[in-house]
Copies of this chain bind each other. A is one copy, B any other.
Amino acid sequence: MDKPDALDSFLNDFAGITEPKILVHGGGKIASNLGSQLGINSSYIHGRRITDSATLDLVTMVYGGLVNKQLVARLQNRGCNALGLTGADGNVIKATRRPVKDIDYGFVGDITPDDVNVVLLHSLLKQQGIVPVFASLTHADGSMLNTNADTIASVLAIALSKDFDVRLIFCFDKKGVLKDINREDSVIRHLPRKLYDELLPGKVFADGMLPKLDNAFAAIDAGVREVVIGDAGNLLNNTAEQTEGTLITQ
């Protein structure tokens, strides 16, 4: 989202996918920048943003409004019939507000594949040729809730895997899962569960990568065909033989 050229190229690639498709996005850096201007400085615990009331308004504006609608307008301009959604819209993902235990995460929604309104998604994807573009927001009890974008992508992939052959792609700013965080050329091309379990105790994976990998293997275990993790710049051009990123399988 932060690099105009890369985003342009990504949207071209995404618009070019001919199969039914869904885009899930966040917008954390844009929200943080706007938050600074507004004096809303979110706190973080274990890398997770604490969503107080002001932060909830901030992410609702930025994820659900600014970023979502810009993406939708730009995809429409590429002939891709995008339609922006949060979990609240059409009740497409109903969350449970995270209970307070040791930490109060604030307005954060936890979700499972059972919370996904697959009937609505089927109608949009299959009958109307619409491309859902999800902002990383859900809802419960009349309030919007903040939910991690990777989690939403993973949960949607699992919920749709009963009726679709799903490929889940996580895009981030590295070329894939790296064996050595300092070497971009150390991408692990194929990471089946067995190799993951072998490498995990050696603290090979960066802290930020672990939730992504948890989501990835949860998706694979629940019926998603394959998960790819890598750089948004060229992932979408992958063929079945997969030329970029890290392929995660059972």
A interface residues with partner B (beta carbon < 8 Å): 34, 37-38, 57, 60-66, 68-70, 72-74, 76-78, 81-86, 88-91, 120, 123, 127-128, 130, 137, 139, 141-144
Contact = CB atoms under 8 A, between A and B. Distances in A.
A78 to B, nearest CB: 8
Contacts of A70: 60, 144
Label chain A's interface by main secondary structure. Answer: helix
Nearest to A64: B65
B139 A128 contact: no
Contact of A73 (B66, B90, B142): B142
A57 B66 contact: yes
Contact of A139 (B60, B62, B76, B123): B76
A72 B88 contact: yes
A100 to B, nearest CB: 20
A111 to B, nearest CB: 15
